[in-house]
């Protein structure tokens, strides 16, 4: 680059990667993720690395913005259509957090099936005799069925892990012909009625908003669990709460929520057999370093006039 350009980070990135970026550009880290704060800071920036939800009008006054990179995969944080109209290229990092999310799903499955946290707690509080019987109703996952909604990179890798654990995998997808050989296509009704574990890993779109509705949940087995690592609005949260309180499903895990962050006052906090996490399925030390390194590499390339393959709106160059 002929001059030192300015890059805005909506949130901090890995320190080593921040340092590498700062050698090439002036780096500004937003003090908060409020829309008004980001709109003010982006005015004189050349690049933007995104780790939070952006407002639809974020690019209105970004007259010199040349590159936007999603620190991760999901593009719903960025108004890509607006960026495209303004000829601003946007990139993401496919596969950068796949391992972390797959491991989160596996950890969640074992959390419900073996109940180790409860066993540990009861052993410490009530002793061996009281804790020991809690293991009796625990179940193994070998021979059970995993249902995946959205068999992209995460779903496909999760299916491989499930196969090694002797689980059968079925999937609901718009393109069943593209499924790997170890995943069987299923209709929505088949997936919800046959699966012992259901993992939601599809993007949020108008087609998937509310996809997991009350009717779908009513088809689930009594011992089935539901894991949402997609986006909150894909699922009817109240329907999940009602099913858990009625005992008609065994458990659910929500890493994503209708409104984020959670305030602590939501109905999900008063619900049995519900594991809540603060949108961290993709976050580990390893994945954070990988996503930060990928973000820095991509934005420097874009600011240098290159066109990386991970640009999601290449039509801006036409």
The mean pLDDT value for 25-47 works out to 97
Residue whose C-alpha is closest to residue 158's, from 216, 75, 230: 230
End-to-end alpha carbon distance in the chain = 23
Domains of the chain plus CATH, in order, are 6-96+285-317 (3.40.50.720), 98-276 (3.40.50.720)
As a whole number, the mean pLDDT across the chain is: 96
| pLDDT score of 1 more than 70 | no
pLDDT (0 to 100) of residue 181: 87
Whether the CB-CB separation of 226 and 240 falls below 8 Å is answered with: yes
Neighbours of 231 (CB within 10 A): 22
Whether the CB-CB separation of 33 and 53 falls below 8 Å is answered with: yes
Q: What is the pLDDT of residues 97-123, one digit of tens each?
A: 999 999 999 999 999 999 999 999 999
The mean pLDDT value for 305-318 works out to 96
Q: What is the pLDDT of residues 149-203, one digit of tens each?
A: 998 999 999 999 999 999 999 999 988 998 988 899 999 999 999 999 999 999 9
pLDDT (0 to 100) of residue 2: 55
Phi, psi of 227 (to 5 degrees): -125, 120
Residue whose C-alpha is closest to residue 279's, from 240, 243, 231: 231
User: What pLDDT band is residue 52 in, cutting at 50, 70 and 90?
Assistant: very high
Q: What is the pLDDT of residues 292-310, one digit of tens each?
A: 999 999 999 999 999 999 9
| Rounded Cα gap, residues 84 and 316, in angstroms | 6
| pLDDT score of 28 more than 90 | yes
């Amino acid at each position: 680059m002929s001059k030192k350009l300015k890059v805005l980070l909506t949130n901090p990135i890995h320190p080593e990667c921040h340092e590498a970026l700062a050698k090439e550009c002036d780096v500004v880290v937003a003090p908060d993720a409020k829309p008004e704060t980001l709109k003010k800071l982006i005015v004189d920036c050349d690049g933007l690395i995104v780790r939070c939800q952006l407002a639809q009008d974020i690019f209105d006054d970004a007259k010199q913005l040349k590159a936007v990179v999603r620190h991760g995969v999901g593009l719903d944080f960025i108004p890509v259509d607006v960026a495209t109209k303004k000829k601003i290229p946007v990139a993401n990092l496919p596969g950068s957090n796949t391992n972390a999310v797959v491991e989160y799903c596996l950890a969640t499955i074992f959390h419900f099936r073996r109940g180790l946290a409860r066993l540990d707690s009861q052993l410490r509080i009530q002793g061996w005799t009281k804790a020991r019987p809690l293991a009796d109703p625990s179940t193994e996952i070998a021979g059970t069925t995993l249902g995946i909604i959205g068999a992209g990179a995460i779903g496909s890798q999760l299916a491989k892990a499930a196969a090694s654990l002797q689980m059968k995998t079925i999937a609901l997808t718009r393109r069943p012909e593209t499924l790997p050989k170890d995943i069987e296509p299923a209709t929505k009704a088949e997936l919800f009625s046959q699966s012992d574990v259901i993992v939601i890993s599809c993007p949020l779109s108008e087609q998937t908003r509310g996809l997991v509705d009350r009717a779908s949940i009513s088809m689930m087995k009594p011992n089935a669990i539901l894991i949402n690592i997609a986006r909150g609005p894909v699922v009817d949260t109240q329907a999940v709460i009602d099913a858990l309180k009625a005992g008609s499903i065994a458990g659910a895990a929500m890493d994503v929520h209708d409104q984020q962050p959670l305030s602590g006052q939501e109905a999900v906090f008063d619900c049995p057999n519900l594991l809540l996490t603060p949108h961290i399925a993709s976050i580990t030390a390893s994945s954070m370093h990988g996503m930060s390194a990928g973000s820095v590499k991509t934005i420097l390339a874009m600011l240098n006039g290159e066109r990386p393959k991970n640009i999601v709106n290449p039509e801006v160059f036409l």
